[in-house]
Amino acid sequence: MPSHNKKTGGASQRQLRVGELVRHAVADLLSQGGVHDPALEGHIITVPEVRMAPDLKLATVYVMPLGGRDTEIVLKALATNKTFIRSAVARSVNLKFAPDLRFRIDERFDEAERIEKLLRTPAVQRDLQHDTETDSDKS
């Protein structure tokens, strides 16, 4: 029975381990310019996470081009080269079956920036200041 971890959304240790192996394989391939596609040239692409399906036959690869630019172009190029990337991953990661790859943009950076901007709004700052004053009154 797989062990479940709330932090990772219930992924088993095996899913996490294989996901990390796939992440390294894809990141190495991209950083070394192993995918020969003009749309990818000139882009530094980070691979912050790979989530594996429970049966390990599907890998969702989260990517982010440096600076968050040309995300659609990069996604399309990765999808176009999916078969090549999959075979390179299969050679690098010793699995019974090479997982199908699905590429997605990692939205966590955008979400963190949105929250940061929200925290700097005057209304939130006023509420935070009010909470600080209320806490000091209790002392």
Segment 18-38, tens digit of pLDDT: 999 999 999 999 999 999 999
Buried b (16+ CB within 10 A) or exposed e, 97-133: ebbebbbebbeeeeeeeeeeeeeeeeeeeeeeeeeee
The token duo for 19 is 């996901």
Of 49-58, 73-82, 96-105, 115-124, which range is least confident?
115-124
Domains of the chain by residue range: 6-106, 107-139
Averaged pLDDT score across all residues of the chain: 84
In the chain, % of residues over pLDDT 90: 57
Fold of the CATH domain 6-106: GMP Synthetase; Chain A, domain 3 (3.30.300)
CA separation (Å) from 37 to 13, 40, 105? Answer: 34, 5, 18
